[in-house]
Amino acid sequence: MTDVSNSGKLGEPLERLDGPAKVTGTARYAFEQPVDDPLYLHPLQADIARGRVVTIDTSPAEALSGVHTVLTHENAESLNSGVDVELAVLQSPEIGYRGQVIGAVVADTQEIAAHAAGLVEVTYERHPHDTVFRSDDEIVYTPDSSDPMIGEDLDQGDVDGALAAAEHAVDATYTTPAEYNNPMEPHAAIAVWAEAELTLYDSNQGSYTVRDMIAPTLGLDPQRVHVFAPHVGGGFGSKGVPHAHVVLAALAARKLEGRPVKCALSRRQMFSLVGYRPPTRQRVRLGADSAGRLTATEHSALEQTSRVKEYAEQSASAARNMYVSANRRVTNELATLDVPVPTWMRAPGEAGGMYALETAMDEMALTCGVDPVEFRVRNEPERAPESGLPFSSRNLVSCLRQGAASFGWNDRDPEPGVREENGWLLGTGVAAATFPSFSIPGSKATIGYEPGGYYRVEIGAVDLGTGSRTALSQIAAEALEVPVEVVRLHLGSTEQPRASLAGGSSGTASWGSTIVQAAHEFRAEHGAEPAEGAETTAKAASNPAVGEYAMNAYGAQFAEVAVNTDTGEIRVPRMLGVFAAGRIVNARTARSQFLGGMTMGLSMALHEHGVFDGRFGHVVNHDFAGYHIAGNADVGSVEVSWLDEHDPHVNPMGIKGIGEIGIVGVAAAIGNAARHATGIRIRELPLTPEKFLT
Amino acid sequence: MKPFDYQRADDADSAIATVSGDPEARYIGGGTNLVDHMKLGITEPEKLVDITRLPYDSVETLPDGGVRVGATVRNSDLAASHVIRQRYPVLAQALLAGASGQLRNLATTGGNLLQRTRCSYFQDTSTPCNKREPGTGCSALEGWNRYHAILGASEHCVATNPSDMAVALAALDATVLVQGQRGQRRIPVTELHRLPGDEPERDSVLEHGELITAVELPAPSENARSAYRKVRDRASYAFALVSVAAVVEVSEGAISHARIALGGLAHKPWRATAAEEALRGAPATEEAFRDAAEAELAEARTLRDNAFKIPMTRNTLSAVLRELTRQEGA
């Protein structure tokens, strides 16, 4: 028998298999991959928000010793038309946002490349630009609902009538700022051309996604593009699709054939080149009857998008199915501006949307005179309100009840602004969390039996640092009914079978289902005692329950907040999250995921704020001194727990994604706690000290 | 980064001669600010003279009871110094409120005094800035100016001095010792930094080539209490929205002596002389603290995003004085 704590069965806290490699620094990330004689690329970025490049004089840069080439729209090769606009780099002199790539210097060292980039002389024709997020009709539109990522606006029942007739009503507008994905490992890529084949060492969330997008951009058969991402230091959505720098590196390496080209973006460059969570403005209207049951729910969200490429965040989407409400209207609109392209950032839609909805729920609970936990329980639906489908599992009430008991909620005095200790006002708050349980079909896995009694499991998935490698090994071990020690998992590249990207908290469920299917087929073909060399490749069966059940993870977030009576400084000494997210594959890595999500939610609540300057069109605070992310000193006690949830429908393992639900609800819980502490209701993130100054 | 020459100075005279004779040469101490600027293209010196091996790395007690802090003493060492913690708690607290542990391990006393503003526009060569490029305009004036000055600013520049340490030194009446080609001079720390006026590109009164060699702290008064309070957006590693350094003496319930400096409000550590005047002889009451703050802030001029600094300064100053006088009375 193996050690219980390391037997690797599902649910056990198996240590990360790649932990020793990471803590000793031998795990190689994209930029660290050994390549012969590399060159270094530094992107040139536009200094204006809209217009065109008139002249670009690269000769001072090219004259510098060590510079190999300067790519611009004047000398870059033509890319296939019709590709993603972010990838169509250097195809024209047009500029659609400040920070857009207008060139690239390739040199012997990063320092020379950066210095040379500063020597390139650019003149522009400036066009009027507009980068100020607001709700003016001239920039607002409803996105095309034919896009599968964009649900059509919802209008059920008679919202206006129900609101007019409601015993209690809340009508409030909430705003969230632009927030920036800043994974610990910045975006980086190495491009190597050899014999008309491109190899990319790239920090991404899906090596096949990178291949699928880069190959057509360069006019290549996808088989000629090889993408490796053996270790990735986080992405939060920003590495879900490749960005301009990957194409730049590939173009440069093709031009300088024989020399690998490395490109690592700086933090500053990441503020315009790899996406961000767009700012939102959300109006929530709720109506309730005298018993504290919602009769009307309206959530209308406006989000920012870029004029050069539409990205439609869906901030209001959770309101479709969260609570009882016979009358319901949910709309999402976009404001189009001359700004960098937004993208996914941890729980896109839900993170910002549930801030608004769960703050409004707090406001409504107070209006109705009902405890905020009880108010949510009272409005718990039996079936998904929009579709009428049964839930595959929904244990929000248990999360709320168990969380309330653990947190000490039940002795709470609802009176605001009355608990002061040593100059700090104390309060507590709660919010619910939800995130869809996605499973992306189409992945394949190969299982082979190797000399020495090992099972080789291959899947082209990416481990963002969350522990996928470990969790998938556990799933394989359980499915094969062997100890985890005899499983050797290979992932991270297009050398393994095709796998979906790590996004939407779908990875472990999607890849795990595929591995389970492969294990079952392997056993069916080769039995319990396979011959060496036995091998099976399988594709995950599609889940017949999709479309029959509403599938989501749920959680309850509790926060204690202290606000300084003199300075308005706000601190969060204590948080508790209780989650219902199906079966937990690895208690250790799952706990880290929830902790990380909740910490990011704390950061969202108190700190994160990308400030656009409308005159220049850039994010003014585009570095870590100006863009604040919660530091260790900001994080107090964070407790995480989860229910023993059995969901027979989501997938063969009964697991739901957990990467994103940890952040959802945190900002609302903290804001609600701040209101309880001070009596001041803030409807605008982040919760900075001046908002509590009296 | 533009290529540059680097040399390590073995003695002060030759270092001073080298830098004085070359307008493109600069001293480098810890480099925690200068190297950032070189990477960002804010400054492009052709020669760096490293002064960290010069014999200015000790904290000495002076015969009169004061303390001399060498210019190359690291911020972390100064904060940990027994004599500083015992006799000048306001300084130790200010040092520990600054930057991060990693930066404090490298940053020097002289370099900390001469660090430049963290104004986002100053730090971004793609936007106009009178401090970086005189005559181009001030982007912060009509831009994002939440961190900017409300006291002593001009139409040319509204940047703030970012140092915590310097605010404490201003409240302590410290003196800066400077060595130049024409010999040594002593500058009260309150006169080291300039207000922006119409020459915001000049941060201090130092001439090119002058080298800070030490900072002297006068002997502390036995009855004095001191404290540094920094208000910032997160609990660590953030510049001050507002900070207060105060040294206070109380006698029979009244304030007999107060020295106060404010951070985050001006182009220099702001010695709050009007507040000091208002407090002299005043009873240690909340009303007196607030009156003192109001007196100091009477001339404050706020911008789009920083009006909160007025109530925040008033409240923070009151809180610090309340705390110091409560300790004294207890």
Indicate the DSSP class of residue A151.
P
Residue B176 phi, psi dihedral angles, 5° rounding: -100, 130
To the nearest whole Å, the CA of B3 is away from the closest chain A CA by 8
Q: What is the DSSP string of A96-110?
A: -STT-EEEEEEESSH
- Per-residue b or e along A2-38, where b marks 16 or more CB atoms closer than 10 Å to that residue's CB: eeeeebbbbebebebbbeeeeeeeebebbbebeeeeb
Stretches where chain A sits below pLDDT 50 are 1-6
Q: Single out the residue of A664, A648, A277, A278 nearest to residue A435, CA to CA.
A: A664
A660 is catalytic: yes
Are residues B193 and B161 in contact, defined by beta-carbon separation less than 8 angstroms? yes
Can you give the pLDDT at residue A504? Answer: 94
Q: What's residue A685's pLDDT?
A: 98
Q: Specify the pLDDT at position A491.
A: 98
In A159-196, beta strands by DSSP E? 168-176, 188-194
CA distances A208 to A193, A229, A231, A464, B290, Å, are 18, 10, 15, 15, 64
Contact A633 B318 (CB under 8 A): no
What is the per-residue pLDDT for A151?
A: 72
Question: Which residues, at least 6 apart from B68, have a Cβ–Cβ distance to it below 8 Å?
Answer: B59, B60, B62, B177, B214, B215, B216, B217
Instruction: Please state whether the peptide bond connecting residue A686 to the residue before it is cis, i.e. omega within 30 degrees of 0.
Output: yes
The secondary structure of residue B161, as a DSSP letter, is -
**C-alpha distance from A240 to closest chain B C-alpha (Å):** 29
d(CA B83, CA B284): 29
Task: Name every residue in A having a CB less than 8 A away from some CB of B.
Answer: 47, 111, 114-115, 118, 423, 566-569, 571, 606-607, 611, 613, 615-616, 618, 620-623, 625-626, 628, 630-634, 688-690, 693-694
Render A314-335 in DSSP notation, one character per residue: -TTGGGGTSS--SEEEEEEEEE
As a whole number of angstroms, the distance between CA B136 and CA A666 comes to 44
| Interface residues of chain B, partner chain A, Cβ below 8 Å | 1-3, 39, 41, 118, 120-121, 123-124, 126-127, 139, 142-144, 231-239, 241-242, 308, 311-312, 315-316, 318-319
Disruptive mutation site among B40, B147, B234, B322 for chain A (greatest number of A CBs within 10 Å) = B234
Stated pTM of the model: 0.97
Assign B39 to helix, strand or coil. helix
Cα atoms in the 13 Å half-sphere on the side-chain side of B306: 27
Residue with tokens 């690998």: A260
- Is B108 in contact with B59 (CB distance < 8 Å)? no
Q: Which chain A positions have a beta carbon within 8 Å of B124's beta carbon? A: 618, 620, 622
Of A608, A56, A100, the residue nearest A307 (C-alpha): A100
Q: Are A199 and A228 in contact (CB under 8 A)?
A: yes
The minimum CA-CA distance between A99 and chain B, rounded to whole Å, is: 10
Q: Write the single-letter amino acid at A554.
A: Y
**CA–CA gap between residue A63 and residue B296 (Å, rounded):** 56
Q: Which candidate, B115, B90, B82, places its Cα nearest to that of B212?
A: B115
Q: Are A111 and B41 an interchain contact pair (Cβ–Cβ within 8 Å)?
A: no
Q: What is the ipTM of this complex?
A: 0.97
Token pair in block for residue A132: 């100020």
Rounded Cα–Cα distance for residues A355 and A169 (Å): 18
E strands present in A224-279: 225-228, 261-264
Reference A664, options A353, A395, A238, A321; nearest CA is A353
Q: Which residues of chain B have pLDDT under 50?
A: 328-330
A463/A27 Cα distance (integer angstroms): 12
**DSSP annotation string for B281-330:** T-BS-HHHHHHHHHHHHTT----TT-TTHHHHHHHHHHHHHHHHHHHHH-
Share of chain A above pLDDT 90, in %: 95
Query: pLDDT tens across B114-161, in order?
Result: 999 999 999 999 999 999 999 999 999 999 999 999 999 999 999 999
Pick from A611, A630, A693: CB nearest B144: A611
> Which residues of chain A have a CB within 8 Å of the CB of B143?
613, 615, 620
Backbone φ/ψ region at A453: left (φ over 0), alpha (ψ -120 to 50), beta: left
β-strands A487-490, A454-458 pairing: parallel
β-partners of residue B47 are B5, B25
Judged by CB atoms closer than 8 Å, whether chains meet at B234 and A111 is answered as no
Chain A contact set for B141 (CB, 8 A): none
Q: What is the DSSP letter of B235?
A: S
Q: Which of A40, A566, A632 to mutate to test the interface with B (most CBs of B within 10 A)?
A: A566
Check residue A644 and report its DSSP letter: -
Instruction: Sort B33 into a burial class: Cβ within 10 Å, 0-12 / 13-18 / 19+.
Output: buried
CA of A112 to nearest chain B CA: how many angstroms apart? 7
What does the pLDDT read at residue A462? 98
List the structure tokens of A453: 């009694």
The first and second tokens of residue B291, run together, are: 């009156």
Cα–Cα dist B173/B160, whole Å: 20
* DSSP assignment of A520-554: HHHHHHH-SSPPTT-EEEEEPPP-TTBTTBEEEEE
